[in-house]
Amino acid sequence: MRALMFDRYGSESVLQLRELPVPVPGANEVQVKVTVAALNPVDFKLRAGMFRLIRKPTLPAITGKDFAGRITALGGDVHGFTIGQRVFGSVNPMGGHGSCVETLVIGTDLIGATPENISDDIAACLSVAAGTALQALVTAAQLKAGQSVLITGASGGVGASAVQIARSIGAKVTGVCGTANVDYVKNIGADNVIDYKKADWRNAGNIFDVIFDAAGASTFGEARSQLSPTGFYLNTTPTLRMFLTSKFLPLVSKRRCVPVMMKTDARLQSELARLAASNVIVPLIARVISLEDVAGAQRDMEEGKIHGKVCVRISE
């Protein structure tokens, strides 16, 4: 089977297509024929070694995390899944595994059943982007109807999912994005949109119950004056200082600083499936490409040239 791999950290040029043996599922695992993989910024960050001091994948590694496909074999002690069933999920890449591959093996705790009314393209886009948004807003910040939330990077995969989730909860949503994406962010549910090329939300003088920095472009110190006395600040690109702030802030304040580190499990996948099936979350798919085009797409993502999700069509 074909897999897109890297032996060392570096630019997209380190990615190479290789032939690997088809993996066999073990206990509590299933074998999946991948129809679609979806790319995320974490893919090129892992490939470039940006996280190697704290998150170092085993090399050689297969690139990619998110996927959708069909189960082709069951390991021992698997319950609730059947051969031929459509599933989606997100691979843990720390062991060198990835989703840009024709066949993968994955634990049943990392997958969910794909709803009949959504395509594999849509399903493949859910886990990392929408999962991060859901855990940040619902699990961590416990966002409620009537509360105000500001979401930066509101046109990106995580940010757009957050806008749609917040809208479904009944929160008052302010999105931050570039000029070209203002109408898109309005159309997916933002009550207000700030064009960061024309204004800085950190100086706008507004107060929010939740600030979700899905662009990783601010610090708690910069956001603090915009937070309510019991507000939550969440950031998807946490630093060491942010982790320290999250530990010590509760000693002196009712505000909270939360470094967002998504944890995938079966319950999360089930909730994402429900939200997608009911059209609460509708990912914007910018490109559908082949395995041979992944390196170029990762480069374009790194350079900020892609608005929306990239799907990798691997099989039918």
CATH of the domain at 214: 3.40.50.720
For the chain, the distance separating the N- and C-terminal CA atoms, rounded to the nearest angstrom, is 15
In a domain, 272, yes or no: no
Identify whether residues 133 and 255 lie together within a single domain: yes
What are the φ and ψ backbone dihedral angles of 178, each rounded to 5 degrees?
-80, 170
In a domain, 252, yes or no: yes
Q: What's residue 180's pLDDT?
A: 92
Identify whether residues 189 and 291 lie together within a single domain: no
Identify whether residues 10 and 62 lie together within a single domain: yes
5 bridge partner residues: 16, 62
Identify whether residues 111 and 225 lie together within a single domain: no
Identify whether residues 133 and 253 lie together within a single domain: yes
Identify whether residues 250 and 133 lie together within a single domain: yes
Identify whether residues 219 and 118 lie together within a single domain: no
In a domain, 29, yes or no: yes
pTM, two decimals, is 0.92
Tokens of 71: 């189960």
pLDDT < 50 stretches in the chain: none
Q: CATH code at 30?
A: 3.90.180.10
Identify whether residues 101 and 183 lie together within a single domain: no
Segments forming the whole domain that contains residue 135: 129-259
Using CB atoms within 10 A of its CB, is residue 167 exposed (0-12), middle (13-18) or buried (19+)?
middle
In a domain, 278, yes or no: no
Q: What's residue 54's pLDDT?
A: 64
Identify whether residues 104 and 140 lie together within a single domain: no
Q: What's residue 52's pLDDT?
A: 67
Identify whether residues 116 and 214 lie together within a single domain: no
Identify whether residues 208 and 135 lie together within a single domain: yes
In a domain, 264, yes or no: no
Q: What's residue 96's pLDDT?
A: 84
What are the φ and ψ backbone dihedral angles of 168, each rounded to 5 degrees?
-65, -30
Identify whether residues 242 and 138 lie together within a single domain: yes
Q: What's residue 53's pLDDT?
A: 63
How many domains is the chain built from? 2
